[in-house]
Amino acid sequence: MKKILPALVLITILFVTPGFSQEFTELMDGEDAQIVGMLVSYNVVKRETKKGNDLYRLTATVTNQKSKHTHIFDVAMESFIEEPQNAIAYFQFTNANGKALSATSAHFYSKPLYITVPYKCKKCTPVKEDEDPYNHYTKSVVIGSQFPIGSTISKVYHIRVPKGEVPTVRVMIY
| Residue range of the domain that includes 48 | 19-112+146-173
What does the pLDDT read at residue 2?
63
Residue 25 lies in a domain: yes
CA distance 114 to 39: 26
What are phi and psi for residue 18, nearest 5 degrees?
-60, -25
Contact 25, 171 (CB under 8 A): yes
Residue 122 lies in a domain: no
Residue 7 lies in a domain: no
The CATH code of the domain that includes 61 is 2.60.40
Count structural domains, the chain.
1
Residue 45 lies in a domain: yes
At 19-47, the pLDDT tens digits run 444 689 999 998 999 988 899 999 999 99
At 123-146, the pLDDT tens digits run 666 556 666 655 667 789 999 999
Q: What percent of the chain stands above pLDDT 90?
A: 49
Q: Measure CA of the first residue to CA of the last residue in the chain; give whole Å.
A: 40
